[in-house]
Chains A and B, each alone.
Chain A
């Protein structure tokens, strides 16, 4: 069962052409969408909640086609946190907003709302436009958690959060996932967030899907090897090398697909000085090098 399915989805904007995207987001999992600014992450999320319409293709939330009809029913099950706050809410207080959501959303949980408001120390009677950026962000997150959706669509949820609040949010998102059928789709620039939360990683670049991969598989597949400079000549023909850095003392290779590379080392009887993990930003950089 998929939380979301995208079939040949395309969106044309002046500066950006998103798609065609064919993606299945598995349910019960956290998928992190990563990519540089303007890679199409927010556009994709806004199409998934029905705020932007694709020029081509179909989007399904579970079995439900995402289109304007009857959205009142299925939107109850999605918690969407847009990238920027909704200016219509500027003059409302959290309690006023909660009252409105309690009216429209069947599963609204006042107790959860109160608990989270206390935990994050949000003043319930202060207007949203009087709050700091981070506080308003937390408040918006509390609102969408309080109607107990099945799926969260989060567009950079932690922008503006202090480190302590960030940890609380990570815990609460993990808690949200305790019920095994729920799903989170989260666009993020924060690498720690991907490491902590994600089961799958989706790479977008210039509106195109670069990779949709299980997180551990991705990190297992990329390693950085350090060798003595004397091995440089033999290493020139090694398979899977994506990048080489060299100084007078050592050679450092960034390798994707380590099994053939390890075979090569064994055959040529070369020992690395050290092996280390490749950080996600470096993997991203290496992955988009070939993408036009």
Chain B
């Protein structure tokens, strides 16, 4: 199975953190369904050109967070995700995007009122088309 994870080598975010957050997003957004058998540690390491140590750590961490389950001798599966958790995740994803927008505004020295105006304007344009 091919997992659509794209690594940015030029980021200062460690590879481990990039893989973990992307895999988490794929699971919580429902892109990878409950019960899916994930690639073996070696296979995913090969796909992403990273080390098995990193992948093992990601799988172990996500297992501890209850998102993955490992069956001895069979492999690692996506565990059932509760709807509540999924909703929380969706909200958090949007919150994070807005926080990034606020950081960008600060960097560009745009004040609160101006930011709100930009936000409302974009919401008006983008949401109307959908």
Chain B residues, CB < 8 A from A216: 14-16, 50-51, 53-54
Q: Which range contains the number of B residues in contact with the other chain?
A: 20 to 34
Q: Mark A16-29, 1 if CB is under 8 A from B, else 0.
A: 00000000000011
Contact A199 B52 (CB under 8 A): yes
Assembly CA distance A76 to B52 (angstroms):
26
Q: Which residue of A lies closest to B42 (CB)?
A: A177
A87 at the B interface (CB under 8 A)? no
Q: Which residue of A lies closest to B9 (CB)?
A: A277
Assembly CA distance A274 to B15 (angstroms):
18
Contact A275 B53 (CB under 8 A): no
Given A28-B52, A214-B53, A216-B50: A199 and B11 interface contact (C-beta under 8 Å): no
Given A180-B42, A275-B12, A276-B10: A214 and B49 interface contact (C-beta under 8 Å): no
Q: Which residue of B lies closest to A274 (CB)?
A: B10
Q: Closest CB of chain B to A238's CB: distance in Å?
A: 14
Assembly CA distance A94 to B89 (angstroms):
59
A interface residues, tally (CB under 8 Å):
24
Residues of A within 8 A of B (CB): 28-29, 174, 177-178, 180, 195-196, 198-200, 214-216, 219-220, 223, 258, 262, 271, 274-277
Further contacts, 14 of them, CB under 8 A, given A29-B53, A180-B41, A180-B42: A174-B46, A177-B42, A178-B40, A196-B49, A199-B45, A214-B53, A214-B54, A216-B15, A216-B16, A216-B50, A216-B51, A216-B53, A275-B10, A277-B9
